[in-house]
Chain A
Amino acid sequence: MDAILLQILNGLDKGAAYALIALGLTLIFGTLGVVNFAHGALFMLGAFCAVTVGKFLSYEVVTLDPSKLTPWGTPAETRTPIVQQWFGDFGAFLVDYSVPFSILFAIPIMLLIGVIMERGLIRYFYKRPHADQILVTFGLAIVVQEIIKAQFGANPIPQAAPVLLAGSADIGAIIGFDPGTVVYPYWRIIYLLFSGLIIGIVFSFLQFTTYGMVVRAGMADRETVGLLGINIQKRFTVVFGLAAVVAGLAGVMYTPILPPDYHMGMDFLVLSFVVVVVGGMGSLPGAVAAGFLLGVLQSFASMNEVKNILPGIDQIIIYLVAVVILLVRPRGLMGRKGVMES
């Protein structure tokens, strides 16, 4: 039972990342009709916002100490962290909480990147076939990741969770299991809650604001909304920016779980597309539900008991489910009738 509970937690946690990326993908596809293969790169850029803030807060002044020599004979470097030197304990607190603070940096940056991307490139491909959109956005993703690699290198760059949240919670002891049997890292629990919060905010924005109502109307019938005198294009640009922010925040908060590297976006992109297809192209609740569902399925498929019966199933389960869904219900779990069915 404890093993099942742990795998459910793993699945929800993994599914949270899938759901957040898939949510942005669905927003873009639902509003602009664009298949955005650069969305994984936005997730990665968000993670590197955290890396940048971490580097900035850990910035050290390097002075040479001629009294000490390196093994290759040059004066040794003495490094002094500036922020801690200037602000003392508060500086140390800033460094410790650099990942949560990165959210404040990532929101405007990702919004700007999203808007520039949409205005500068994506809008020229609205009326082009999906194949063109895939090619150009995939190319853009490669360009972005190569820029990041040139700047930050190819190796993962670890980002620590705040010391207070670096340990694990003994969930087993709380819910009546033996102590130590169901242990889960605090930061992963926070990630799960954070993704729930972001999903809630996005849904509330679309559901309960006038702006969101217009966007939803545009998703349903762009031409009619345009005929009403509403500049739906401008709103869609903002939606693209919003999707970039969601992907970026997912990336920021994921950095203590997975040390970011230039390729992490690609690793998530394909799975997230499968999530969108399973959930139903253009369906926001479908994307979220499928994200969590596939995350949990993937975790269960990784259990030794399952792998002993079906070796390698953990690597194909998501695609297997996608194949079955596409055969049985082409529009996905919660997709609108007609979408992907014609």
Chain B
Amino acid sequence: MSEQQVKKPKRPMSKSLIMVRQQLADLYTEAGEAKARGEKIGWAASIFPQEICETLGLVVLYPENHSAGIAARHQADPFLQRAEGELEYNNDICSYAKINLSYIDTRNLEANNMPLPDFMLIANNICNQVTKWYENIGKRYNVPVYMLDMSFNHENFVTDSRLKYIRAQMEDIIASLEKLTGKKFDQDRFREVMEISAENKDLWIKANELQANSPAPLNGFELFNYMSAMVCCRGKRSTTEILKQLISEIEEHIEKGDSTYPGEQKYRVFWEGIACWPHFSHNFKVMKKLGMNIVATAYVRAWALDYIPGDLDSLIKAYTFTPSNNTPIETLVERRSRDLIKFKCDGMIYHLNRSCKVMAMQQAEIQRRLTEITGVPYVSFDGDQSDFRNYSEAQFETRMEAFTEIMDQHKAVREGK
């Protein structure tokens, strides 16, 4: 056999990764079965307080995560085409929305299909566009849309009036869901769900923070693969099991001093923004060639909602202080500058994600302020969370190469060379 013909053996999938994939598949199966039994199932925005649904025992699915999956499996093309063609949506809107608004009419993927929703749940703490997206579905399929309008915080805390405003909306949604589904909201169960969620949050943060080790125990891209557990199932015991397994695997790597990252980790980088799902493997291939590993992200940690179990007000505060759509820039910059130091980052990669207007808008100013404060070099590339057309391989490659050269210069300056 020639050298080209010898295929490198693939690293076997870790137990935690098998578990997280199964958990997501189970969620879709469960939704299909619930629907068949005549139960009402919901579709929710990604940072909607899942504690409400979990307490009521409702099966809820997450279109954003679903669209990301379609894009990562390179199945987005027909959905994007149809959304922009037949359905007449503008090319500029969020590609998660485009894929989902198109997918909803067919729902015939090979696996992980979402049954039609009986109700829609919006929280605009993730973005504003999700409101119109879900309203469109509500109108087209004649299902109720429940919305939590989460205020923007100009301060680094949530004011009492905002808290009151959001609490009233939450109470109203709980009552509406009880009425619609015939299920009862039990306070003890609510507390239990909050406890499970809080434990999952701690585990998730821990898994992320272990990347501060040198070498980082994981290929940083892998943490994106566990997001479905935190986005879709963060109030479930199954997530606790997955994260405990993941942490034990990570700790094993730390103990052995090895990593799932293949090769030397010459550069430790912070990844800003959502993954570029359609080109995930190209991103990784280029970065691997150059010896860059992701050790920190802001986005992955967005689902680590920090509150005191049993304290509704603290839960509301956590949900109205999420990273993208309701946090002042000072806080965004402060969190990142802390992480750049903590994770010993050599540089920061900004994914200028054409779909996400909120993040794209924040990035330039975050870049400017962070560079001023930390002096950590950065690079930015054009991409998209799920529209494969908004990306250029050559552009990504050139920028990453130039970036390693710049990180080298900065290192040389730091070391006084």
Q: Is B truly associated with A?
A: no
Interface residue ranges, B against A (CB under 8 Å): none
Interface residues of A (CB under 8 A from B): none
